[in-house]
Amino acid sequence: MLKWKDITIGMLQEIGELPDDLNPIEKTAHTVAIIKGLPYEEVEKWTLNDLRKIDLSFLEQEPKHRLKWTFKHKGKRFKLVKNAKSMEAHHFIELQELGDSDKIEALHKIIACLSYRVNIFGRKIEDDYQWKVENFKDLPAPQFYKYSLFFSALYPKLLKTTLTYLKGEVKKAKEMFSDGSDSLTD
């Protein structure tokens, strides 16, 4: 019996890319092929009874998974970002660019931005963003889907707070380098 735990981010993305105009049987066959890792041409030859034996109803519900802040993937340890202070600037910028894209389509990139490598003691170590982007499609979807929803709810507040902070820093810099005028070159 298939469950959410069997679904990776890559599978979720492939299922999401299926055309809306597929009839229900075709859509089921494509979904089964994706989840089971079989060629569609093979699943297409199954009988309707064989196809109906595969219960995909769990996909109609939101995954229920407890949020974990640490995870291992392909022998490497990672932590999810809990607050913006632990994010690197280029990941913050990348997240802004991903903000307008489809969340499921960009889920592996979002998780790559919102995680960092740690050693066995949980201390931050050298990270490789590109490796994460290339490999995070294999992560189990339930935990990271839930985390992206959590972060998506907080992200607009984070942007507003960051903008307020940056405006304050600009004001301080102007006051420090200015003799009362608005020009920094005086």
Query: Which range among 45-49, 94-98, 155-159 shows the weakest confidence by mean pLDDT?
Result: 155-159
**Is residue 21 scored above 50 in pLDDT?**
yes
Q: What is the token pair recorded at 174?
A: 């102007």
pLDDT digit string, tens, across residues 87-143? 677 677 677 777 666 667 888 888 888 889 999 998 989 889 899 999 999 998 888
**Is residue 186 scored above 50 in pLDDT?**
no
Report H helices in the chain.
9-16, 24-36, 40-43, 48-52, 89-98, 107-113, 129-135, 141-177
The whole-model pTM stands at 0.71
Q: In this structure, what DSSP letter does residue 20 have? A: T
